[in-house]
Structure 1
Amino acid sequence: MRPDTAAFQASPMTQADTSPQGCLRSRIRFFDFHPTMADVRAEVLDGLSHPHKRLPPKLFYDQQGSRLFDAITELPEYYPTRTEIQILRAHGAAMAERLGRGCVLIELGSGSSLKIQTLLAVLQPRVYIPVDISKAHLLESAQALAERFPGLSIRAACADYSGPFELPLDPDWRDRAAFFPGSSIGNFDPNEARAFLKRVARVLGPGGRLLIGVDLKKARAVLEAAYNDAQGVTAAFNLNLLARLNRELGADFELDAFRHHAFFNEEASRIEMHLVSRCNQRVRVAGQVFEFRLGETIHTENSYKYGIQDFQRLARSAGFVSEQVWTDPKDLFSVHCLIVEEA
């Protein structure tokens, strides 16, 4: 996907404005590389046409989905976010030393930008580039960060980083680093994860560093509780994907006709999330009709869990060398600093 080149010339975030809010926005440049609706339609129709129906997890993150995910991160059962933040707070200074103060910092899947705040004060990057597929959420977060960090230069990029992606980078910027929190690497199967890491390595260049959160293997009960919370927020997050298709693609999913189901696939070492049809039904999506049998599922997300050495081997196969890894006292989660191998 190529960006709209006009976005590099101007955007709503760069217009002259002398108000206090305008002065705030003057430090933010916005670049819209968001997939077109035709791209989304094609990917949805392809996924629903498979014998085992599937939809990509990036579709979770419209504005409502992003807000529901923020709510998930605060649930008592959902350990990854609070544990990763604990690690970042405990070791943020050491991480900043590894990444290099004054670097150009890219955050992939920035979301609400909660975790990056732990690093920004000590890292003091020359430029911060948050990347997220949810445009409204990205803009809200960028404005909040600009207010909290008055000297921060922000280039916010709305983009789908799950495939080849463009970033608003100056070719002269050599001191590049990236932050990929939340164990979002687990949403890719191992081959896709390797391809993704190779793309990141090319963006960073030799000697560039990647700080990445990786969820660790642990007891099934802990994992399954994290994706089946008692309040039903994760279920609402999963079902919101269908509501988005109804709104944006003219689909006619009955949300009550599907239920959320998440379980740990031990053989593949991954959590799987599905939407299960409660009955035999027909659904129309973008003018096409799809049949669902009772109990048939739409596979909406994987979340792979790694051992530390397993992930380091994966990173090595993509051109990264492990520099350091930090974990919490219970070994629930890990944060890795990787460096791109010199040619």
Structure 2
Amino acid sequence: MKITIIAGARPNFIKIAPIIKAVQKKQSEGKSISFRLVHTGQHYDKNLSDTFFEELNIPHPNANLEVKSGSQAEQTAAIMIAFEKDLVQNPCDLVLVVGDVNSTMACAIVAKKMNTKVVHVEAGIRSGDMTMPEEINRIVTDSITDYFFTTSTSASENLLKYGVESSNVHFVGNVMIDTLYQNLDRISAPSFWNNFNLETGNYIILTLHRPSNVDEEKSLIDLLEGIDKMVENKKVIFPIHPRTKAILGETNLNLKNILFVEPQGYLNFMFLIKNSFAVITDSGGISEETTVLGIPCFTMRTTTERPETIEIGTNTLVGTSIENLKELFGAFLKSGLRKAEIPELWDGKASERIIDILLSK
């Protein structure tokens, strides 16, 4: 069995690392399975891309399509053109895509049009928000996928409602959590830890990158200033995404508590999350990691495709207004973290299940 594995952006790298390890384990056991890794180049900043390959021991990609940035259409088209050429030259049995970035949808379309079976890891999740490019990517990818691997029973149910054959839907758990468990003993403090006098529980992590939060400069500044006042004497570590940094430009911000840092590698970032007091974010993936680590998470979005992080995890859906955040954060300060659990099958073995199932097909 020959599998082509696609990676394009930061969340993809975290998800493919344990899948590759699971393939390598089967190879060591004498199973007839091989993989070819294609990096689309969707994220090309070293801190968003190369660092993750190095830290997570992901092998050097067999191909880097180097598509870089552009509009949604430009980037998707560039990936499709480049990947079609690559797949013609390197045919395989399966193309495995993860998550919901442009690379996921683009490579799935190319594979399907070339009569190659598509495997979607993290299939079936839905936010219901069609203004999110990721939601469109999910729906399109799942409409042409052959083998679906889901992180939750609700994701599996979503697929069954769309008419997917139940025999092709496999609830296996969460590969991002595989990576977390595999690297917990390797996480380390970033270089600024001592310079900022950081200690476990005395700081908050902030990440923002979604258009609804960062595209309009004034509302972004209002949000940052509101968070800065809300946290009182807690430091806020803000690894600023290049997109957000560009929107702020040279704006002179009068912030007492928010400390801007460069995007972090996986091992440093997970150390910061694990030792934080709380996390404020608009990322879906981070709410999964905080759920497993038992860290309170406040998600600055009106919808989530990961309802299990709210229903049984540590995540609170806030919306996009600073007023809502202040109210919900204040309630947390008063009452403390509610009882939370780790979702079913988030046990670090999802990748092994995926490869076992594919080998049985």
TM range (shorter): 0.3 to 0.5
Greater helix share, structure number:
2
Greater strand share, structure number:
1
> What TM-score does the superposition give when structure 1 sets the normalisation length?
0.33
> What TM-score does the superposition give when structure 2 sets the normalisation length?
0.32
